[in-house]
Structure 1
Amino acid sequence: MPSITGESHDAISKSIEATRTRLRGLSARRDSRDQIIAGLSFGFWTELFGSKHEDLWRAALSNALPGTPAGRRKNVTAKLERLRPFRNRLAHHDSLLSQDVLFQLEEMLTLAEWMSPGARIWLERHEKVSDLYRQRPVTPIDTLVVPATEAWDLYENNGIYICPAGRNFRPSKYLAFYANKEIKPTIAQILYHRDNVEWTTTEAARLSTLAGDANKNDRKIAAAITASQAAGWTGGRYQIFLLSRVGDPRTIELKAAIPHLQSGRGSAFVQRHRYVSHHSLQSAKDTSDVK
């Protein structure tokens, strides 16, 4: 079994001793094991999965979360770091109207599942957040939904969306794909948008040579031109959206695709494009719930 480093042991001991000292100041009898665990901050538990505790993870903590993908501590750390600011908002009774509550709920449920699949099932059966969320009074229209018969594969492989130049779009935070009579379960964040790009090998070569951080999107567009042409997209002029990819923390992953149950000529959920709230996507059972 791997040994625990001195740095890790010292960091844990220091936090525990500080908590014990604070508890003793309140009452001589408050210095119990249960009180110490309750008295440690959320930051302590988050930091327990930091890089300095890698040996502790391998020796013991990984056994507490056996379902962690690939057994990697970093997967746990990433979720805890995303949950920490949200937990602080709750603890300080801050407003949640601008928060992606269902995303945070899914993060919590996933952590529980990594500890025990049964724990997740129990929590899903008893949680009331999802039902309450559907009644939220504020649902900003912030998501562009596009038809994606061909575009979906291009996004999955390259993290981009392209369409003819000159098409007008309202400013949006997210982009969702509709194909095969369903809204796909991946809702990407729009990172950059540019219209009227010359879609040629020559332009790709020019953009790829532009150096520096200020031109990083130019280089990404160059790579997109090359990738789309390899996938059969022809030359011309297009506009491009650079998007967060599958697995990116900025990307919203729904539990499942949202089916479109209407049928008949002209009944497709998206003909050209439309705008919806990403909140309605997160709670929708089918497209009739999307608004």
Structure 2
Amino acid sequence: MLPSVNGTSHQKIVEAVETTRGRLRGVSPNRDSRGQIIAGLSFGFWTELFKAQHEDLWRGALTRALPGTPQGKRKNVTIALERTRKFRNRLAHHDSLLSQDIPLQLETMLSIAEWIDPDARAWLEQKQRVTSIYAARPVVPVDTLVVSAGIAWPLYQAVSVYVCPPDRVFRPAKYLAFYADKEVKPEVAAILHHRANVEWTDAESARLQNLQGDAHKYDRKVGNAIAESRQRSWTAGRYQIFLLSSPGDARHLTLANPIPNIATGRGSAYVQRHRYTSSHSLQVSSTTAELA
């Protein structure tokens, strides 16, 4: 039974369940079993269930349904479910998947299953065909993500990362380039590691920096990035992070010159949020007009 449901934020949950039960009874008087109700609830119902206003439900009951949740924090479930919900909606509307990071979306779904039961993840990994189908996709030559980086560029120069909100969706890319000061910067970094949901606090920074061993090398780099950004007055919250190569790394590309954007006027910026190009185009273009 839901605690304190009357006149509280939980009322919407009760109403959704009752609406589903009524719809099932309209089909058959005996169809509103627990399993049928669960199957009949919308995906949005489940994402709503893990929002901040239901923290008491999480602590009182839902945390036991997902015992493997990282650090036992409801927010990790919220972000994973919301990412999956948006991806599911794209699939349902037959949107193009070229702009989607399919391996990341699959990992998010498998992680949710693992938080419920590790055996569930193992079974799904054995049965899923996404990986093999994705590997057989036609190769797209566009391999570089270009991001708007007025704030991100200085942080990259300090700790070789790119940080942005956790709900941003990207297609797979090999490189990441920065657009700032009306130019594509000459340092085109190889993407070494990507995490879609990181708690951005001083406490989490300290925890990650103190992890030992080669298996935690990326954890320590994430911790260092959090610490550096916090010193630069970045607010606490949640972000996604790309760990990137630095100049001198064999995987790194350095252009002969920055690529200027010579267009003028409102809306003339080469990148508003992010876009894609090829590393080859970056190496042979003299202005962003040639990239476009």
1:255 corresponds to which residue? 256
Describe the superposition over 1:66-96 as per-residue Cα deviations: whole angstroms up to 9, x where unpaired. xxxxxxxxxxxxxxxxxxxxxxxxxxxxxxx
2:143 corresponds to which residue? 142
2-structure distance, mates of 1:290, 1:225? 33
Q: How does 1:62-211 map to 2 (within 5 A)?
A: 140-211=141-212
1-structure distance, mates of 2:246, 2:142? 21
The TM-score normalised by the length of structure 1 is 0.51
Please tell me whether the aligned partners of residues 156 and 246 of structure 1 are also in contact (alpha carbons under 8 angstroms): no
Please tell me whether the aligned partners of residues 149 and 180 of structure 1 are also in contact (alpha carbons under 8 angstroms): yes
* Closer, same or farther: CA 230–217 of 1 in aligned 2, 3 Å: same
Larger Rg: 1
Q: How does 1:234-249 map to 2 (within 5 A)?
A: 234-249=235-250
Q: Secondary structure at the match of 1:228?
A: helix
Please tell me whether the aligned partners of residues 139 and 279 of structure 1 are also in contact (alpha carbons under 8 angstroms): no
Describe the superposition over 1:74-130 as per-residue Cα deviations: whole angstroms up to 9, x where unpaired. xxxxxxxxxxxxxxxxxxxxxxxxxxxxxxxxxxxxxxxxxxxxxxxxxxxxxxxxx
Return the offset for 1:230: 0.8
Q: Secondary structure at the match of 1:270?
A: coil
2-structure distance, mates of 1:157, 1:231? 11
Describe the superposition over 1:171-230 as per-residue Cα deviations: whole angstroms up to 9, x where unpaired. 100000001111001100000000110000111111122222221111110111001111
* Closer, same or farther: CA 139–197 of 1 in aligned 2, 3 Å: closer
Matching residue's letter, 1:158: V
Return the offset for 1:139: 7.9
Q: How does 1:270-289 map to 2 (within 5 A)?
A: 270-289=271-290
How many residue pairs were aligned?
154
Return the offset for 1:247: 2.2
1-structure distance, mates of 2:238, 2:190? 23
Matching residue's letter, 2:275: R
Unaligned 5+ segments in structure 1 are: 1-137
Matching residue's letter, 2:146: V
Unaligned 5+ segments in structure 2 are: 1-138
Matching residue's letter, 1:188: A
1-structure distance, mates of 2:211, 2:181? 39
1-structure distance, mates of 2:245, 2:285? 22
Please tell me whether the aligned partners of residues 144 and 176 of structure 1 are also in contact (alpha carbons under 8 angstroms): yes
The TM-score normalised by the length of structure 2 is 0.51
2:234 corresponds to which residue? 233
Return the offset for 1:249: 2.2
Cα RMSD of the aligned pairs, angstroms, is 1.4
